[in-house]
């Protein structure tokens, strides 16, 4: 519900149900599934998604996608066409490069989507669950990166920021509002 800024929309609910070109998964470096949104995406996409993830080259033992980076697979049983798997930083208090790494997740995911010719993408609130990133800080980074991307790529149609719960949606809306007042 409710677009607060052209191109960026905040929606509440289950990201696996969305008919967009790309949905983003908050994965871990192994890329073989997990809990939270990762578990929901794998469950909804089916076993082929796990097989596609296994096929992604390991950079070193147990690492297919380093923190702050992103990898693309088809979306199989999901309504979306592709899944971008990105690995957000674990929150350690903010002094271990977490803001830069989180911003990099959004940037790399958006660039991968653009490279596929996608026009729409949906992000979960990367790092704000198991990885404990404070939602208000993470939301500020999310809206800033999405806004910057849309400014550079005006033909990209829609970025959905998906909140699983109403409280997370309120926090995202605040961040989007604050972004508007800075311009």
Chain residues in the site for ligand APR (CB under 6 A)? 14-16, 26-28, 34-40, 88, 124-131, 162, 164, 168
**Smallest distance from ligand APR to CB 128, Å:** 4
* Integer Cα distance of 63 and 175 in angstroms: 32
Q: Which is nearer to ligand APR, 32 or 178 (CB)?
A: 32
**Smallest distance from ligand APR to CB 27, Å:** 6
- Of the candidates 14, 21, 38, 170, the residue annotated as catalytic is 38
Q: Which of 73, 24, 1, 76 is nearest to 46 (CA)?
A: 76
Cα angle, residue 109 at apex, residues 72 and 49 outer, rounded to 5°: 30
Any catalytic annotation for residue 170?
no
**Smallest distance from ligand APR to CB 2, Å:** 17
Cα angle, residue 69 at apex, residues 140 and 17 outer, rounded to 5°: 70
**Smallest distance from ligand APR to CB 44, Å:** 8
Q: Which is nearer to ligand APR, 93 or 117 (CB)?
A: 93
* Integer Cα distance of 41 and 157 in angstroms: 23
Q: Which is nearer to ligand APR, 155 or 158 (CB)?
A: 158
Identify the three-state secondary structure at position 170.
helix
* Integer Cα distance of 159 and 75 in angstroms: 18
Q: Which is nearer to ligand APR, 34 or 148 (CB)?
A: 34
The catalytic residue positions are 38
């Amino acid at each position: 519900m409710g677009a607060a800024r052209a191109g960026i929309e905040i929606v509440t609910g289950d990201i696996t149900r969305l008919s967009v070109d790309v949905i983003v998964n908050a994965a871990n470096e192994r890329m073989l599934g997990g809990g939270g949104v990762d578990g929901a995406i794998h469950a909804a996409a089916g076993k082929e998604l796990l097989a596609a993830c296994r096929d992604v080259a390991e950079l070193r033992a147990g690492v297919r996608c380093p923190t702050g980076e992103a990898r693309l697979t088809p979306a199989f049983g999901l309504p979306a066409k592709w899944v971008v798997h990105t690995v957000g930083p674990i929150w350690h208090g903010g002094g271990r490069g977490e803001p830069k790494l989180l911003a990099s997740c959004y940037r790399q995911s958006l660039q991968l989507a653009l490279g596929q010719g996608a026009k729409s993408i949906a992000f979960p609130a990367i790092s704000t669950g198991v990885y404990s990133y404070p939602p208000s800080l993470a939301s500020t980074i999310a809206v800033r990166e999405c806004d910057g991307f849309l400014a550079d790529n005006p033909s990209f149609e829609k970025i959905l920021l998906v909140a699983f719960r109403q409280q997370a949606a309120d926090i995202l809306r605040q961040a989007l509002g604050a972004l508007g007042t800075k311009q």
